Every structure is written in C-alpha cells, then in structure tokens.
Structure 1
C-alpha cells in the first residue's frame, strides 16, 4: 500500500499550475478560433486556467477578479501543431545526442514563446518521452503542452534516412515482416503513444525501397485494434491514395508531386481522413538562403541558435543551398502543395495544421508555424480560415475538446497581439504575450 503522504506528494507533483485568482482581459478584439468575425470591445474572463466567458462584457465578473485593460490588443487562441518534433535538433546538428530532457524542454519553451501552446511530436521519440509528456499535461513543465506518437515505423534501408536523422534504436522501428510491424505497434501502445506513425515513401528516390503494402497494412490493422490512429508520411499522390485506402487516419504531409484528382478528394472526404499540408517544410529548404526581409526580423533572429545564425549569414552556405538540386525540387513541391491545399480545403476535406518543425535545423519551432499561416493564405485561404485550421481544426484532429477555441470551458491558451492577423496574416507574429492554462508568459517566471 502506498503511504498517504506519498499519495499527497504525487498529487502535488502532478497538480496543474493555474492562476490563483480570476482575470478579465477587457476591451480586446477577439478572434475566437471558430471562424466568426472578430468581436470588438470584448472581454475574456479566465479562472482556474479556463475560459469563463469570451465575448461582449459580462454583466457581472467572478468575485475577486483582477481586471486588465487590454484596449488596442487582439486575442486569439494559442496555435496547435499537429505535426512537429522535439529533441531532434540542437544548433545545426540532428541525432540521438540531442534527445535530452533539457533540449526537449527548451523546444517546448520556444514553441510557447511564439504562441504555439500545444504540439504533437509526430515520431522519433525516445524512452524519456512518456514522463515528459505526463509532466507537460499536468502543467508542471514550462512551455507548450506535448503529445506524441512514440517511435514510429520506418523501413529497413529506407525511410526515414538514417543518414539524415541519426536516431537511436529506441526512437524508431524498422520492421521487415508484418508480425514485426504488429509487435512494433503493440510496443508503442504499451509505452503510451497517442498515435502511430509510419514513413511510406522513398524520400524522392534518395532511399532504395518504399514500405511494402503488407507491412503498412499490418501496422494499420494492429494500430486500430489497439485503439491508435495512424499518421503516414507521404510525398506523392499514389502513395497517399494507397495509404488512405489501407485505412490511415492522417496524411501527415501534403501531396507534392502532382495535382490531386477528384477521386482522391472524394476518398479523403468519404474516409474522413485528415490532411496536414506542411507547406513550411519545403519552404524552409531554401527560404533562409533566399533571405527575404522577414527572415531578418527580430521575431526570427531571436529564435535562432548562434550556430544557425552563423549558417544563415554565411554567403557560401547560401550559394551552395541555392545551387543544390533539392532546392529547385522543394520550390516545385511547394507550388504544387499550395494548389492542392486550396483544392482540398474548398472541397471540404478535413485540414490539419503542422510544419514538421523541429525535424531539421531550418524548420524552426514557432517560426515555422507562423510561416505556415502565411503560406495557407498564399494558397488562397482567408486569414480567418487559416487561423481556424491552426486552432479549432488542429485541436479536432488531435481529438482535444478542451482547447483550440476561446469559448466557455476551454483551456485559457491564448495569444495577445498588437496587430490583427485576421486583416493581415503576417501580423500573427506581433505577439505581446502568450497565456497558457491561464498564466501569462510575462506575469510569471516559468
């Protein structure tokens, strides 16, 4: 039997950290995340880490409410990434030595600082991840809340390329038989994964083989038996079609080799499969070598490590990157991805939000998510539609009904801005503060 004092200690350890008294943010322009027109002169009331009300000023505030005059400020829900990674990158390096508690917590802090309050770490997670996730859920870690897909399933001598990721044996399965695939799924379920992930394609021909149908079908069937949904890494239309037909629940990257056809659109709609474009992934391949003005703003530069700053400022690196055939391929992939997103969104396909941030040095946590918003608008979505994808839709993909909108009962995860991204999406970066579970990033040392 566990002593009562020990039980009390555990309860204190995992009790969520919330503000001690109600707070009302008055006079704001409110973007609620559900796509409605912004509400002028609104009041957001927060108590015990949740939204009490958000909209026109209530007639009465909870007893003891602290009132903060936020006139001239814009409030929107915290962003939610359905496809990111943690612990893979430090400086300009990737690999197992970076997968440490310190580095993961630093990444979660970086996300939150840029207004991303929830992250799905979509694979490549090591043995320390379950305890970190539990602490984050309990509000005992600084930074964004984090969910995870555990290790994920790759291909022997195939995707994802070990030469690129340099991950350890406890971060990835590479089954060679259907039974090994089923065993891998069971192991990930036992370690508490929130979803399963598999890498289907051949990374543009850079690896010699793709995942065999008997492997991914066995993995998907076992995952569903275990109550896990499956996200699949794809690039090409035919791979995406095959994996959705096999039962995948999430297409974890946009289709980037050709325009999607009507049959694929209907397949996504009839199956209810989620589609995450990850537009910013391909842009990150070349954009810091292109050096547009936004890459040199404090919002971006403050997020860079000294090593990454030096890389981006190096003319030799920029020249080499721009001359690399991968850059031309990434530009083409991005252009196709943009067109496909507009087609799928207009058709009513369920669109999620993610960037593959944290998987490579150039995919900068927090920065990438704001680029995704800009690129979604470039694809043809309105700013409010893009914000809705990054908040309400992103929460729905993760089946999280406690966040994603600023409505009564939801977690008080919100971003306060000085300019309105519903009018100009580029203004999503004008962050004054991030509130996470009702605590302001500027009001408490976390």
Structure 2
C-alpha cells in the first residue's frame, strides 16, 4: 500500500470514528451473525443493542426492542464477536528490530496497544518485565483514557541469576533472587503494587542457559504469592518442570509443553488443581516461518502490522538465508511446534482449562495483533474447530484473568467487539476481514484492510 493510499485511508477512518463519537445514545447492530463467545453455534439475524459502554440486549431481529432514538447499523452478511483477549503478551519490550529497556516508553506502549486494538485484541496481559510506568498506564487503560487495548499485567516477574529470561531488561523490570527469602521479599514488594498476576521464568531455554530456577525458589514464590492472594504464571518448556510446578501450586502454565507429549500424570494434576494452560503456538513458529515466506506474508493484513525495519528484514534474502541455513534450529523449533500442537489437542480433549496468548511483543518476530490471529489459525491446525478456538480467545481468556465483565456478548458485558466481513466459524482466516472494532461501546477502529 502506498503512503498516499494509507494517508487517505487514515483520514476516512478518522472521519468515520469522529462521526460516531459525536453521537450519543443507544446503538443497534442489526441483522448480524453473532458469535457470543459462549461456545454455541452462531446466532443468525441478530441485533446487539449497546448503551454507553455496555451491551444491554442480544436478541433476534424480530424480538429486539429498539429505543426510538437508537442509531441503527445494518450488519447484514457480517459477523459480530467479542474482542479477543490475550492472556500472555508483553508491552514496551520491542521497537522495530530492537529489544530492551530503552523501549519501555509511553509512546511505544501506546503504539502497541493501538495496534492490538486495531487487530481486534481489546484486552492485553503484559506478563512480566513491566517497569514502574506500567502502573500508571494500567490505571489509565482501566479508566478508558489510554488509547488502545485495555491492559493487565504481572508487574516485574522473577527470573534466574545468569539464567532466564536471557533478554536485556532494566533493573526495575525483573527480580533475580538467589534465595527463597529474597524471592519472598520480591513477591511482597510486587504485592504492594497490586499486580493482576505474578510471573516466574523456570526453564533454561533449550539448554542454552547455565541454570534453571531452583525448585525452592519457585516454591517460595508460589507460597508467598498465594498468601498475598496472587496467582502465579510460569514460563515453561519441559514436561518435568510443568509437573513440578503444577504440584507446587502454579496457577498457570504460561507456555505449552514442547519437549515431550503430555501424559496422564500431568493431565490429572492440572485437572485436580484447576491449573490453566496457555499454549503460545505462534512462539516457536515465529522463529523460522518468516524466513520461509509463506503466501500469507504478502497480505496487506500482515504487512500493515510491520514497522519499516522489520518489513525490510523480512524482505532481505540474506536474512532469510541465514535463518534457514541453521537446520538444527529450524528442526528444533518445528519439532517444538508440532509437539505443542499435539499437546494442546490432548489437553483440550481431556478437559484441562485452556487460555489464550502468544507471547506477542516479547521479541520483534512476535508481532502484536497479528500473532493473535496466527495463534487462532494454529489452534485450528491443532485439531480444534474455529468456534472452539474463538471461545478460547474470548470467554476462556477472560475466565483465566478472572474477568466477568467481558469475553462474551451478553447483557451487562462491556461492549468490546469485532465486526468481520465473513464467517470465521466456517474459515478462521475470515477473522482477518475486520471492518470495525468497538471498545467500551465506542467505534475505535475501522477496516484493517481497505
């Protein structure tokens, strides 16, 4: 898309949003196909009634009772569904091709939140590595005065000395305790800032790091967090670590198990303890897929998510050749993805609680907004239906966060929703045909692709 074309589109979208923002009262989205997020079949010929920031009714067109002053929007042939919710992303870590504490700025985080929102992700969880600025931005997001997706987070999080996470972070973005007592003190300090979750990094990143987190450290973190009424999400890779963490009381496995097939022991433990699982399928695929140049990389939907330096890297034959010249790395990442796909299906079928997240924003290749759409496509590839995948990304994702005000389209819920030209239940790729995003009852974004 040319810059001139993008400028004209932004003017059109801005005009559309201004026109809606200038009007108050009730909005009736009529004649829509509605995926309400509860897992049932889509509701055809349905009206969604919005007043202020809430949904007040979801009825058939025939049964809908509209106020005389309602603004009516005809959505014939369109699908309405809840805004997507990410249980595992990161904010302010990346900018272009760089990753580091220098990127944890208001302007960069706002840019990312707007991109999430534009791609239909209306709630984001920044799962650790959050500096002091995060507390202010989270409060502004909850108050509706920060542009972009609503924001939750896990404060700084707890890593390993000379170990995970290996990325460059500032001293006010992470704790690396050496003893259980230091770990408990870190939890107590974070608790004063009232985080939504806590995060621990446990594994050694494919044996590339010198140490894993000692069990006595994460056990102390989990125990102290639970005393403070906080839940703990754990960064994992290996099956053995997952079992030990669940047994120790970890509330969320923040990544999929990718070294071995999950077994009955883990499944039984997770169901007994109510542990949540976030597969983050896109994570491993992102290491190699952009070098392979799949057809979908040519789409405007994808290209519009890329900052110029990242787009240039993807277009660089030398970069692609370098990635693909490391067959061991590609082999490992592809094997990890396949194991993750298989494990997700088995855990889902067994009735383990599954959330939704991608680790988007943790590194430049995990692209905010697009990663969530790719994750849904990979969930379907794993063997779930599109409707099941969408339910994970809406109702389930809200439940993982303990949010009962969003995730489904029902009276009393926040009016956070996506309008799509097509039917993603028939083809999950149809979700890319975003025509509008609504948040808190306001039209906040227009078409992603003109």
TM-score normalised to structure 2 length: 0.93
8 Å CA contact retained: 1:18, 1:437: no
> How much does 1:55 deviate?
3.0
- Out of 357, 370, 373, the position equivalent to 1:370 is 373
- Out of 324, 344, 350, the position equivalent to 1:322 is 324
Instruction: Tell me the residue number matched to 1:249.
Output: 251
Q: Given the alignment of the two structures, is residue 352 of structure 1 paired with residue 355 of structure 2, yes or no?
A: yes
Within-5 A mapping of 1:203-218: 203-218=205-220
Question: SS where residue 40 of structure 2 aligns?
Answer: coil
Instruction: Tell me the residue number matched to 1:291.
Output: 293
- Out of 389, 394, 399, the position equivalent to 1:391 is 394
Q: Deviations over 1:269-320 (max 9, x none)?
A: 1110000000010111111111111112101101100000000000111111
Q: Deviations over 1:222-263 (max 9, x none)?
A: 000111000000001000001111100000000000100111
8 Å CA contact retained: 1:152, 1:196: yes
Instruction: Tell me the residue number matched to 2:10.
Output: none
Task: Measure, in 2, the Cα distance between the counterparts of 1:424 and 1:32.
Answer: 17
> How much does 1:442 deviate?
4.2
Task: Measure, in 1, the Cα distance between the counterparts of 2:59 and 2:226.
Answer: 40
Q: Given the alignment of the two structures, is residue 160 of structure 1 paired with residue 159 of structure 2, yes or no?
A: no
8 Å CA contact retained: 2:47, 2:64: no
Instruction: Tell me the residue number matched to 2:46.
Output: 42
Task: Measure, in 2, the Cα distance between the counterparts of 1:174 and 1:63.
Answer: 60
8 Å CA contact retained: 1:19, 1:439: no
Instruction: Tell me the residue number matched to 1:85.
Output: 90
Task: Measure, in 1, the Cα distance between the counterparts of 2:36 and 2:229.
Answer: 32
Question: SS where residue 106 of structure 1 aligns?
Answer: helix
Task: Report how many aligned residue pairs link the two structures.
Answer: 425
Instruction: Tell me the residue number matched to 1:264.
Output: 266
Q: Which runs of 5+ in 2 are unaligned?
A: 1-20
Instruction: Tell me the residue number matched to 2:27.
Output: 23
Task: Measure, in 2, the Cα distance between the counterparts of 1:371 and 1:217.
Answer: 34
Question: SS where residue 353 of structure 2 aligns?
Answer: coil
Task: Measure, in 2, the Cα distance between the counterparts of 1:362 and 1:421.
Answer: 25
8 Å CA contact retained: 2:28, 2:73: yes
Distance 1:19 1:125, change over 3 A: farther
> How much does 1:189 deviate?
1.0
TM-score normalised to structure 1 length: 0.94
> How much does 1:65 deviate?
1.1
Q: Which runs of 5+ in 1 are unaligned?
A: 1-16
Question: SS where residue 441 of structure 1 aligns?
Answer: strand
Q: Given the alignment of the two structures, is residue 414 of structure 1 paired with residue 414 of structure 2, yes or no?
A: no
- Out of 66, 77, 84, the position equivalent to 2:71 is 66
> How much does 1:327 deviate?
2.1
Instruction: Tell me the residue number matched to 1:170.
Output: 172
Question: SS where residue 234 of structure 2 aligns?
Answer: strand
Task: Measure, in 2, the Cα distance between the counterparts of 1:59 and 1:366.
Answer: 33
Task: Measure, in 2, the Cα distance between the counterparts of 1:139 and 1:20.
Answer: 17
Instruction: Tell me the residue number matched to 1:149.
Output: 154
Deviates further, 292-301 or 351-360? 292-301
> How much does 1:48 deviate?
1.3
> How much does 1:59 deviate?
4.2
Task: Measure, in 1, the Cα distance between the counterparts of 2:404 and 2:64.
Answer: 27
Task: Measure, in 2, the Cα distance between the counterparts of 1:103 and 1:356.
Answer: 17
Task: Measure, in 2, the Cα distance between the counterparts of 1:51 and 1:321.
Answer: 47
> How much does 1:141 deviate?
1.0
Distance 1:370 1:216, change over 3 A: same
8 Å CA contact retained: 1:121, 1:149: yes
Task: Measure, in 2, the Cα distance between the counterparts of 1:275 and 1:192.
Answer: 23
Task: Measure, in 2, the Cα distance between the counterparts of 1:104 and 1:435.
Answer: 20
Q: Deviations over 1:388-438 (max 9, x none)?
A: 000000000000000000011100000000111100011111100110111
8 Å CA contact retained: 1:44, 1:51: yes
8 Å CA contact retained: 2:58, 2:411: yes
- Out of 309, 312, 315, the position equivalent to 1:310 is 312
Q: Deviations over 1:70-120 (max 9, x none)?
A: 111111110000000000000000001000011111110000000000000
Instruction: Tell me the residue number matched to 1:103.
Output: 108
8 Å CA contact retained: 1:18, 1:438: no
Task: Measure, in 1, the Cα distance between the counterparts of 2:67 and 2:395.
Answer: 27
Task: Measure, in 2, the Cα distance between the counterparts of 1:250 and 1:21.
Answer: 40
